[in-house]
Structure 1
């Protein structure tokens, strides 16, 4: 299944690296509606069409709410997902104080793939969050391919531990179970420790201006990310309804529709 996982923060003229809630007036400018339509049509291959002809999708407020949706779509790994992550951040757990990579490498990967989703922590420095949910989806073996479409100012925000030989430029993600991961103090020690490799996952990192979808999307997740986008960016959200069938937008909490999404992940 081919999925676009889109964060509104990709459509800004700069990148916000820190959660800035509550929102305040910002000098960061969002794209124009015309710029967004050109991107959706010319680069993502989406078309304005009747609801029955559009890919289905879900709107979420915070990006970790995409995790249970991916679980449903993949049927906990039974249906491999090809994911294009269009975002100003990789969401692979590179934030300050984020120890999710150690939890994944030192504990979670010891479980069978079917057991992992239920064992993901929701408290502490290893907890699942909007900054690392994608690494947990990888750990659950839901993804067969990942493309990261990034902002020009995104910088280097890939987690080397999740790549073959700790090389983010190699084009292969290869998670590893390292029972003694909490004992290491250097990259060299980590490489030398006994480990068990997960199946390889092809990976691409593409600048947003150079991206062109190779195949039609079957499902679209759109995230508002209010901690990383100014209120002015919300004007772009309704445009997506011309290209994606979100179903009941009131129930999903589109700005101005009156309610917040449940975040429970019903894919619909």
Structure 2
């Protein structure tokens, strides 16, 4: 399985930011021009992008449309987008706008029928976002923790055409404390859907550890604050993603 790196562009009020543990008041602005940031990631050698409309995640509807449009104009890289996408009309509108894959998080818990129907109708275009605290699913921009286990929610979407699941450990997000390989690997081994790791990636060693996880291969990881801060060098990350590293 190819291991794909997804540099993250998190959008708040039109700017590219990073949060700590999903807290909107703990936002650091890294670039006021998201299109420029997208082009920069392409120049670094990354082939895919992960974009989140943070305002939309809290509002329950898309907010940063202009910023997303600027990203799409600035790079040919496939863009997967999440944040506030809760209806079929919103899904269709983003796909028509040029988004490659739509990420459904809150909708996956609140309206699984919508997700399953969209995945069947739009094969390869629907991604489920499972954000968890201590293994339990969090929704509404991570503001609420449910009583649903992440692994049970993942299993609910088997055999309906979901392209991937993004598994985020919220307690590590933005902290650069290291990715939760055990949590990610548990999901990868529980379902046949490709699993993408997210939250806490601190160095290229995290990429190597994800690649070396036992059992079902992990499909990729999202790179956030460590990439922006320079703790991860793009070329080294791309090389690490391109080969399996057997760690002791």
TM-score, normalization by structure 2: 0.31
Bigger relative contact order (CA 8 A; separation at least 6): 1
Bigger radius of gyration among the two: 1
TM-score, normalization by structure 1: 0.29
Higher strand share goes to which structure?
2
Higher helix share goes to which structure?
2
